[in-house]
Amino acid sequence: MQFPPDAADLLAAIARLLDEDVLGAVPPQLQHPVRVAAHLSHVVERELRLAPQHAANERLLLTELLGADVEDPAATLAARLRAGDAPELEAQAWPVLVEIARQDVAVAKPGHDSWEGE
């Protein structure tokens, strides 16, 4: 068991350093990569905090949709959609995949799901 800060807190600290101190001190050609590095630190920070709950929820949603508890439900659903023999599955999958995408963007780009238009 590691002593605090936990991994997410450390990534937040790295992101802050990159954003607030490093970004202004590097030559122009490094500014974009440094910005990306700061952004990724935040992404992974959120992932560490949210992933356990998200993974469990995703599994639950997919298992319910598939009507069976399989080892890799995402791959199973993908394969069944590819087979193209179940139009009703496509309709049922949409709201489930929206909910999963909402979880994923909560990690990757919070707020992106506030726009629900085309």
Partner 1 sequence: MNIAAGLATYLADTWGSEVIVGDISTTTAGARRHNVIFDAIVEGSTRRLVATIVPAGETILNEIDAEAGVRSLAEQGGVAVPHVHLCRTDGELVGGPFMVSDYVAGETVPRRVLRLVAEHGIGDLVAEQLGESLGRLHAIDPAAVPVPLRELDADDPTGAALRFLTEAVDQLPQRRPALELGLCWLERHLPLPPDRVSIVHTDVRNGNVIVGPDGLRAVLDWEGALAAGDPMQDVAWPALRMWRFREDHLEIGGFASRTPYVVGYERAGGRFDEERFRWWKVEGTLRWAVGLASQTAAYLEGRVPSIVMAASGRRVPELEWDLLMLIRPR
Contacting positions for partner 1 (CB under 8 A): 32-33, 36-37, 39-40, 43, 62, 74-75, 77-79, 81-82, 84, 87, 90-91, 93-94, 97-98, 100-102, 104-105, 107-109, 112-113, 115-118
* Cβ closest to partner 1, residue 9 vs residue 99: 99
C-alpha span between 61 and 73 (Å, rounded)? 9
* Cβ closest to partner 1, residue 4 vs residue 116: 116
Residue partners of 57: CB distance under 8 A and separation at least 6: 103
C-alpha span between 36 and 18 (Å, rounded)? 10
